[in-house]
A = this chain, B = another copy of it.
Amino acid sequence: MCRWMAYSGDPIAAEDLLFRPVHSIIDQSLHSRLGATTTNGDGFGVGWYGRGTTPALFKSTDPAWSDRNLREVAAQIDTPLLFAHVRTSTGTPVQRSNCHPFRYGRWLWMHNGAVTGFHELKRDLMMAVDAALYPGIEGSTDSEALFFLALTFGLAEDPPAGVARAVGLVERLARRRRITAPVRMTVATTDGETIWIFRYSTAGESGSLFCSTEMSQVRRLYPDLEVLRRLGTEARLIVSEPLRDLPGVWTEVPERSYGVVHAGKHEIHPFNPLPSA
C-alpha cells in the first residue's frame, strides 16, 4: 500500500508539510502504522503549484527518508497546494515514471490502492484511453491508467463524473473477465485550485483516508498547538493516515464517497461508479 498527503491553504513552506509533523509523510514512508505494509520505499513524489502554469514535480525512486535533495528543495519552496506520495509497488517497476503524483497539464493525480487483475485488463483499459491523451502516458501503473481514463471521461470538466465513469469502466471490463473486487482506491486529484478526493472500493475495503477539520475548530481544541502559527485559516490537510495523534482534528472520509476541498471548505458527497459508455 501507499501513503499520500494533500495540502490546500495559504502558502506554506513545503518543508513544514513534509518533514516537521510528528508522523509526517516522510516518516510514514518508513514507519507507516495503518497501511498493509509498514514501509513505502518504492519511490516517492511531490507535486506543488508555484511559478508557471503547470505544477512542478519532484519524483524519485530513492526512498523518501534518505533523499537529501528533497530536504534541500523543500526548504526553498512555498506553496498553497501540495501533493505528496510514498509508494509501495503492486508489481510494476520501480521507476520515476511510475511514481505519483502523475501530471497532465494543470492536473495532478495520486492514488493508494490497486486495480486487481490489471495485468489482464491493461490492454483493454489502454484502448479506452482517448487517442489524443494516450501519448501522455509515461509509465506502466494501474494508477496512471485510472488517471488517464478519468481524463478521457471528462475529469477536467466534471471531476467526480470523470472518475465515476473510469471506475465504472474498470468494473465492467473486470466482470467480463470474472475478476472480482477489481478496484481499491483512495485518490486525490487537483487542478491547482480545488482538490477532489475519493474513497471507494468495489468490495468496500479502501485504504484509510482522513481530512482535517476546519482550522477554527482545531484552534478551539488546541489553542497552544505550535504548528497553528504557520497554518492560515483556510488550511486543509487530507491524509492516508494522521500526521499526528490529535483527537478531534481528523475526520475519516467514509467509504463510497468523494470530497471537494476549496478555499478552506470541505464537502463530502456519495460516490458511485457510472456507466462509461
Q: Which residues of A contact B (CB under 8 A)?
A: 13, 30-31, 37-39, 41-42, 50-52, 56-63, 65-66, 68-69, 72-73, 75-77, 89, 93-97, 119-120, 122-123, 126-127, 131, 134-135, 138-140
Contact = CB atoms under 8 A, between A and B. Distances in A.
Contacts of A123: 126, 131, 134-135
A93 B95 contact: yes
Contact of A89 (B66, B69, B138): B66
A58 to B, nearest CB: 5
B94 A76 contact: no
A148 to B, nearest CB: 12
Contacts of A73: 56, 58, 73
A75 B58 contact: no
Given A51-B76, A123-B135, A41 B63 contact: yes
Contacts of A37: 30
14 contacts: A13-B51, A39-B41, A41-B41, A41-B63, A41-B66, A52-B75, A56-B75, A58-B69, A63-B63, A66-B89, A73-B73, A122-B135, A123-B131, A123-B134
